[in-house]
Amino acid sequence: MADSFSEAAIVNQSHPLLVMARSVRTFSACRQSGPREWAFDWRFAEDDEAFRGHFPGHPILPGAFLLEMAQRAAEHALAWSGLLGRRVTSVSRLRFQNPVLPGDTCTLHVAWDDAAEIRIRFTKPGATVATGTFGTGPELRQVEDTSAASETALPPDPTVALNVLPHGHPMRLVDRIALDGTDRVIAYKNITLNEPCFSEAHRGMCEAQLAYPLALLVESFAQGAGLLLSRRGFFAGAQGGVSLTVFGEFRGIHLLDHALPGDRLGHDVRLLECGRNVAHLCGQTSAGGRLIARFDDLMAFSIGTKSLAAAGSAP
């Protein structure tokens, strides 16, 4: 079985507010190779907004955007297969193996035996970019936040995020933090309707359409984790070289509720273990007494920019 759909046909059914990057909003091609097998192509222009503000001087596609792309593609494939109403509710695993750089073309393969578990694999010519497994269900389930983590009395510091994070506009997704030693941080993100991801918001949209994009939610949490890791020297390169902290694998991301304009996200990030250049973190995100997401394990590692460039140019 082989089928294909034009970009226009897909875009007309896409969520209008997902991210500011045009390449992440739209696939250039979609093909069905079997009843439960699909492929989606993305092309990343040199000037694509996906790279703007993410490691200026060393642009790579944020891993959280790959997560957003996979979520959208999986939900499109399920809908085209007649499984309307199913959505991604958890990320069992997402492992990043090679970077996506400006100018790259990337293909996402989506497949399932049981629609409750979706297998995804990103490739680019000559390399595997990422692999993972998503859980799906009919709807998010709202859970009350019964912890005191998001109401911590730790003194917030409004300058750390600006002075430490290497990100630039519009990818600065932490507004201020409260540090608790070197093993925990509360990172805050205020969501407003004036952000680039809501540039196409209009009257009549429902709550689900105004949900803060998954990519930005995960990226914001990860930036809080990066600020915590900066306390452990992860931003210091070996032999005086330049080093970046990137995430190599997500395990157990559970989406429990929508984050909406007007919400103040509180990312409670905790360090599970930390080696010389590899660390594991966990935590949760809350807003207004609602638990938005739980993160079981995020694996981060420090990589020199020379190694990053070599990985990007590998055949």
pLDDT digits (tens, 9 = 90+) for 268-303: 999 999 887 789 999 999 998 999 999 999 998 876
User: In the prediction, which pLDDT does 218 show?
Assistant: 92
Calpha distance 33→200 (Å, rounded): 33
Confidence of residue 54 (pLDDT cuts 50, 70, 90): low
User: In the prediction, which pLDDT does 281 show?
Assistant: 96
Residue 4, pLDDT > 80, answer no
Q: In the annotation, is 54 catalytic?
A: yes
pLDDT digits (tens, 9 = 90+) for 115-134: 999 999 999 999 999 999 99
Q: Which range, of 30-44, 49-63, 190-204, 222-236, averages the lowest pLDDT? A: 49-63
pLDDT digits (tens, 9 = 90+) for 83-101: 888 889 999 999 999 988 8
Residue 53, pLDDT > 70, answer no
Taking the CA atoms of 79, 82, 87 and 90 in sequence, report the sign of the dihedral they define. Answer: negative
Average pLDDT, the chain: 79
What percentage of the chain exceeds 70 in pLDDT? 73
CATH number, span 3-313: 3.10.129.110
User: In the prediction, which pLDDT does 63 show?
Assistant: 84
Higher-confidence residue: 14 or 80? 80
Residue 156, pLDDT > 80, answer no
CA dihedral 149, 152, 154, 159 (to 10 degrees): 80
Residues ≥6 apart with Cβ < 8 Å to 57: none
Query: What's the Cα-to-Cα distance from 45 to each of 12, 49, 52, 170, 211, rounded to whole Å?
Result: 22, 9, 12, 18, 27
Where do we find the tokens 């193996």? Answer: 97
Confidence of residue 38 (pLDDT cuts 50, 70, 90): very high
Alpha helices in the chain (DSSP H): 7-11, 22-25, 63-80, 160-164, 214-230, 305-313
**Catalytic-labelled residue, pool 54, 167, 254, 267:** 54
Confidence of residue 315 (pLDDT cuts 50, 70, 90): very low
> Which of 78-87, 112-121, 227-236, 246-255 has maximum average pLDDT?
112-121
What is this structure's pTM? 0.77
Residue 244, pLDDT > 50, answer yes
User: In the prediction, which pLDDT does 164 show?
Assistant: 67
pLDDT digits (tens, 9 = 90+) for 133-142: 999 987 666 6
Residue 32, pLDDT > 80, answer yes
User: In the prediction, which pLDDT does 56 show?
Assistant: 65
User: In the prediction, which pLDDT does 309 show?
Assistant: 52
